[in-house]
Amino acid sequence: MKVLNFKVTEDEAYTIAQITRRALSEIKGLDSAVVPRSVLMDISATHCNGNPLDLESLLSVPYEDFAHDILGIQSNINRRTGELENLFSPRCSKQ
């Protein structure tokens, strides 16, 4: 059984916390699934388990792209493996 990796650097942890705050501020009214722990863990799991994210870009992209990535990750992440399913690809994935 694969163990989820949540190992991020201190800088990445700080940026993920900022992304989480933005998601709660901008998206919460649209989707009740946007809760702090879920966003934080889903972003970290995605970033560390097969789909590295450009975290700085995710933090600063326009709302439409931000919401696409946050809600898409939450809807398509396999929480046992940290991998994204259903061919979902975040717009802020690293190249």
Instruction: Show the domain range for 24.
Output: 10-76
pLDDT of residue 27: 82
Write out the two tokens for 63: 């709302």
pLDDT of residue 12: 98
Domain assignment present for 2: no
pLDDT of residue 36: 80
What is the average pLDDT value for the chain, to the nearest integer?
Answer: 92
Domain assignment present for 5: no
Domain assignment present for 44: yes
Q: Work out the pLDDT band at 37, boundaries 50, 70, 90.
A: confident
Domain assignment present for 49: yes
pLDDT of residue 29: 60
Q: What is the separation of C-alpha 12 from the centre of its chain, rounded to a whole number of angstroms?
A: 12
Domain assignment present for 68: yes
Domain assignment present for 32: yes
Q: Work out the pLDDT band at 32, boundaries 50, 70, 90.
A: low
Domain count, the chain: 1
pTM: 0.90
Domain assignment present for 83: no
| Residues contacting residue 40 through CB under 8 Å, at least 6 positions apart | 16, 17, 20
Domain assignment present for 69: yes
